[in-house]
Structure 1
Amino acid sequence: MPALPDICFSILLDILVIYYIYCDELFTDKTISFIFFPKAVAPKMFIYFCVMGILNLINFLFSMYQHRKNNQIRNSKNYLSSKYQLEEVYESTKFSVSVISCHFLLFSLYIVGIGILRYFGSKIIPDSIDLMACRGAFTTMISFNNLVVGVIAVCLNRKMKQRKRNSIKRTVRIKTTGNVGAQNYENQIFRIWNSTLKMH
C-alpha cells in the first residue's frame, strides 16, 4: 500500500502537469470539449505525449535488462532451495515485461497516429469536418489501449498459471497403482527408513 507522502507527491505532480499544459489557455470558447484540446494547449499536449512515450521506452528497456539478468541468475544457481524462488522471480518479470511491451507498442502507435493526423491529416482527409471527427475519435483511443492492455494482462496471467500447473503435474506425477505403484510406495518407505536410521 502506498504511503501518504507518495500519494501527495503523485497528486502534486499531476496538478503541476495539468497547470503547465493549460496555463496559457484563456478558455474563450463557449464550450469546453473533453475530446479536443484547445489550440494553445495542443502543442504542449503533443510534447507531453512524446515525453510519456520516451518514459515508456525507458521503462521497457530497464524491464528487458532486469528480465535478462533474472534469466542469467536463474540459469547459474543450481541450489534446490533457491531454484523455485528464482523461477517465481523470473516468471513475474517475464509477465511484467510482456505487459509493458504491449503498453509501449500501443502507446507508440497512438503517438504516431496523433502526429500523422496533426501534421498530415489535411492531406489524407481533405474534408475538415471529417478530419475533425477522425481526430476526435482517435483522441479517445487511449482508453481503448488501456482496455486492450488489461485484457492481454489477464489472458497472459491465465496462460502462465496454466503452464505452471501443467509443469507441476508433470514434475510431481508418480504412479500409485499396480505393480509400478507398489514399487514406488516401497521405495518411498525405504527412503524414509534409511533417512531415519542415518539420523540415529
Structure 2
Amino acid sequence: MTAEVNDADPPTPRPREVLTANPLRRWIEAGLLLVGGLGLICLVDPTLVLLEYLPQVDPRLDGIGTVSARQPPDIDFRWIINALIFAMLLILVTGLPVRRATGAGSLPGAVAQAIGGLVVCFWALASAALINLAYFGEHCTYAACWPMYEQLAATLVPGLLTALAMIVMANLVNRLAWWIRTLVPVVVWLGTVLIQHAVWTSYLLNLFEGPPR
C-alpha cells in the first residue's frame, strides 16, 4: 500500500496594506488635493506679492531709470509668509504616499502634481506680464525696449523651474519615494526665489538701470 502524503497548502500571503485604499485616507487625500489645487489656481496673490519685492526699472522714454519701490526690497515677514504659503501648496498637491513616506506616491497625487505644475507655469507667465503691463505699448528709450523683456525673463525663473520640477516629479511617481517627489519642488522654489532676490538687488537692478550692453 502506498502511503498517501498530503502536503499542507502554503499559507496564503496577506496582501500588503495599501493606506490610500482606506476610504478615510482616500477622503483625506482628496481634501488635500482639493485645497492644494484650488490654492495653486488662486496663486496670483502670493506670486504678485513676491514680485513686488523686485524693483522694476521703467523702460519708457519719460521714465528711464525710474525704479519702482512699492515694497521694501529687503526680505521681511510678509515675503516669508507668502513664500511659505506657496511651498505648503506644493506639498498638499502631491497627495499622500501609497504605503509609507519612503514608498511611492499615489496616482491621483501624481496627476494633481502634474496639473499643478502647469498651473504654476501659467501664473509665472501671467504674473510677470501683469507686473510689466504698464510698460507695454509705450515709446521706449532704448532699442527692443530695454530692459523690459530682460526683466520679464528674470522674473519667470523661479516659477518656471518649479513648474518643471513638479512635472518631472509627477512622471517619476513609480520610481521615486513620495517624500522626494514632495520636497524637490519645494526646495527648487525656495532656493530659486532666495537666489533671485539676492541677485536682483545686488546685481540685476544695477544692470537694468544702465544702457543695454
Question: TM-score by structure 2 length?
Answer: 0.38
Higher helix share: 1
Question: TM-score by structure 1 length?
Answer: 0.40
Q: Report which structure shows greater RCO (CA 8 Å, sep ≥6).
A: 2
